[in-house]
Structure 1
Amino acid sequence: MGTGTVVGETEQAVPAYGLSGLGRGVWRLGGVSAELEVRGGKVALGWRDAAGRAVRGVPGCVRREHAGELAPLRAAVRDIEQALAAQAARLEREFLRGRPWAYDAWRERCLDHPLVGTLARRLLWTVDGAACAHTDGALRTLTGERVDAGRAVELWHPLGRDRAEVAAWRTRLERHGITQPFPQAHREVCAAEPAAGHLLREDRFDARARALGWRYTPGDGARGSATRDLTHWGVRAELPIEAVPYAGGRALAPGVPRFHPLGSAGVPPLVVSEVGRDVGLLVDAAGIGNDAAPAGGQDRALWASCAFGELTPAARTRRDVLTRLLPRLAVGDRCRTEGRFLHVSGVRHAYRIHLGSGRVLLPGDRHLPLATAGSRAPQPSWLPHEGDRMLSVVLGTAQLLARDSEITDPTIVAQL
C-alpha cells in the first residue's frame, strides 16, 4: 500500500487501562477479586469470592467495605469500552494511512498490547507481503505456517486479492468464530459510481461526513460538495451534491465522486475503493428511506424510491453475509436473499425486507411500517464483523416475521 516503516505516535500512546493480560485485568478488593474481560467491543465485569468461586453481582462485603473503589472500577469499564471504539476506528483508518509498521514495534504496540491486541488479533495482516491472521496462538498464513518475524506490516485489504483467497479467509474466520471489529474480510471493493436514486437528509449527511473525515460545503445555490483530503496519497476526493425539494424543505442528491490529484502520481485504486465505500456509508446513514414515510404525493414517491431502491456496496455485502448466516437461524429455511431483498415466508404473508433500509413490503408492494424492535431478537452465535446495525435489524425483523402467527402486539397485528 505504501512505503516506509513509520510507526505513528498514536500506537505509542495507547495506555493499558490497568489490564495485566490480553483483554483481562484483575483487581483485589479485600478477599474478593473483580475481573474485567474484553469481549469484542464490550467489557464484562465479574466477581470471585475468596475461594475463587464465581459469584453473581457485587458481593455484599465489597459494597460494605470497598464502596469507594466500586465507582472507579465501573468507570474503568466505561473508559475501556470507549477506548476500544476509538482504537477500532483508528485501526480502520490505517487502510488509507499508506505507511506500514515496523514489525517489532507493531508486535509490541499493537498485536501484543493488552487493549489494542484484542482488536488486532481479530484482523488480517500482511507481514512482508505474506497474508496472515492470529489463530491457534500465533500469526499464521492460510496454509498454517507461523509468521514470527518480519520487517513491514500492513492491514490486509481485499482489493487485488484472488477471490479464492478472500473466500478462504472468510471461511477461516468463521471456523474460528472470529468477529472482526470492522469489515475487513467482507470489506467492499468499490468503484467511483453514482449513488443513483438516493436522497439524503442534510443534517445526518453533514454529521456522518465529518465522522468519516469529509468536509461538507452547502454552496450558494442548489449545488454544493463534500471533500476529503488524502494528503499522503496526494489526492483530494470530491463528492458533488445537488439540493432538491423534499417534504417542505430540501434533500441532497449525491453525484459521482471526483478525484483531484495534488501531484503527478495519479489516483491509487485503494483510494478509489475506499472513497466509493465512504459514499455508500453516507447514503446508508443519511438516506431519507431511514425516515417515516411521508403521507403521499411526490414526496412519498421519492421516499419509496430510496427506501426500496438500488443497494449500496455495503448493502450488497450485507446480502452476501446474510446468505451465509441464514443456515444458522432457526427460521433460516423460511428465508432467502434475492435482489434487493431478504424474502421471508411467514404464516400470514410472504414479506420482503429491503437489505439497505430494513423496510418491509407486504404482497402488493404495501409498506409495513415496523419499528426496529425486531433488532432485539436473538442474533446468530457468530457475526463476521461488528458495526453493522442494519444487519442486526434485518436479522431481527426476519425472525419476527417468520413467526408472524405468534405476534401479539396489536399495532403490528392490525397492519398484517
Structure 2
Amino acid sequence: MADKNKLFGRGSLVETTRIAEILRTETAGGLLLVGAAVVALVWANSPWSSAYETISDASFGPAALHLDLSVAQWAADGLLAIFFFVAGLELKREFVAGDLRDPRRAALPVAAAVGGMIVPAVIYVAVNATMADGAPSGWAIPTATDIAFALAVLGLINTHLPAALRTFLLTLAVVDDLLAITIIAVFYTSALHLLPLLLALLPVAAFGVLVQRRVRSWWLLLPLALTAWALVHASGVHATVAGVLLAFTVPVRRREPGDDGPGLAEHFEHRWRPVSAGIAVPLFAFFAAGVTVADAELWAPVTIGVVAGLVAGKTIGVLGSTWLVQRFTRAELAKGLSWWDVLGLAMLAGVGFTVSLLIGELAFGAGTDRDADAKLGILVGSVLAAAAATVLLRARNRHYRELVEEERRDDDADGIPDVYQRGD
C-alpha cells in the first residue's frame, strides 16, 4: 500500500505504472523539444536567419474571423492549446482518481509548485525594480517548469531517479501549468471582449454534454473544440485557456464500475499526449526559441531577473516549500532518500521553457527587444539549472540505481514487485 506518512512515499502500483508510461512519452518529447530549440537558435543566428524570420512571420487563416495569424502565432495560440488540453486531463485525473486525490499526498507537490512560482517572481521583481530600465511586468516568466525539458535532462544523464521523485516532478509541473494558465488568463489579457467569451461557453458546454455521455466521435467533438478555441481567441483571453476548459469537462471515471477499459480522460490523454509531446510543443519551441543573440543583452534587467528566478528562485521555492511541509506535518522522507535528492529536483525545476517563452511574448510582445532578453534569460537559466542538477543527480546516480533495483525485485515471480506486497 502507499505510504501516506512519508514525503515522496511510494504511490500505488497502478499509478506508478501509469506515470512511468507518461514519463517515457514526455522524455522522448523533451528530446525533440531540445533539438527543435537548438536548430531554431542556430538558424536564427546564421547567415540564413532571414529565411527563418520569413517562415515565422508568414500569415494565413480567415481574416474575417480574426484568425489571419503568423506561423509563430498559430504555434503559440493553436498548438499550445493541445499541450494545455493534455495538461488539464492529467491534472483532473490526478486529483479525481489518482494518488493525489488524498489531500495529504496532494499537499507536497501543490505546495512545492506554489513556492516554486512565488519565489522566482519575487526575485525577478526585486531585480527589475532596483535596476534602471527594469521591466517588472515580466514577473511570471521564470515561474514555469518545463516537464518535457526536465525529463529530457534526466534521460540524457541516465539517472535512476526513484519513481516517487519522478512522479513528484511530473505532478509539480502539471500543477505549475495550471497556475501558469491562470496567470495568463488573469494578468496577461490586455483587452477582454465579453460576448465572444460568453459564446465560447456554448461549444464548451456541448462538448461537455457529449463527453459525459462517453461520445468519442472526433467529427462531433473536434468542430466544437475548434469553435470554442476560436471564440476564446476572439475574446482576448489567450486561446490556450480553451484547452484547459475543454479538458475539465471530460469524465475521469468509467461509466460502469466493473468496466475494465480506460476512462474517457485516459483515452483522450493516450491519443493526444504523443501529438502534444511529439509535434505541438517542439514546433512551438522551434518558432519561439529562435532569438538572435545580437538583439539580446546578457546583462539586461530582464535577462538577469529571469536567470536568477529560474536558477535561484526555483531552487529556493521548491526546496523551501518541501521543508515547510515536512516541518508542519512532521512527516519524514521515504526510506533511502535524503535532502540532497530534493535539492536535485528543486534545481531541475528551474528548467523552464515552453510556458516561460509564451509568457515572455505575452508580457513584452513577440519580437521586441525585451522579449529577446527574456528568451536569452530563459535559455541561459534553463541550461544553468540543468547543469547544476546534472552535477548533483549524477553524484547520486549509484544510490538511485540501488533504490530502483530494490523496488523491482520480484522474488515470487507473480508480476507484482515485492515492495508493494510488503507495504514498506
Q: TM-score, normalised by structure 2?
A: 0.23
**Greater fraction of residues in strand:** 1
Question: Whose radius of gyration is greater, 1 or 2?
Answer: 1
**Greater fraction of residues in helix:** 2
Bigger relative contact order (CA 8 A; separation at least 6): 2
Q: TM-score, normalised by structure 1?
A: 0.23
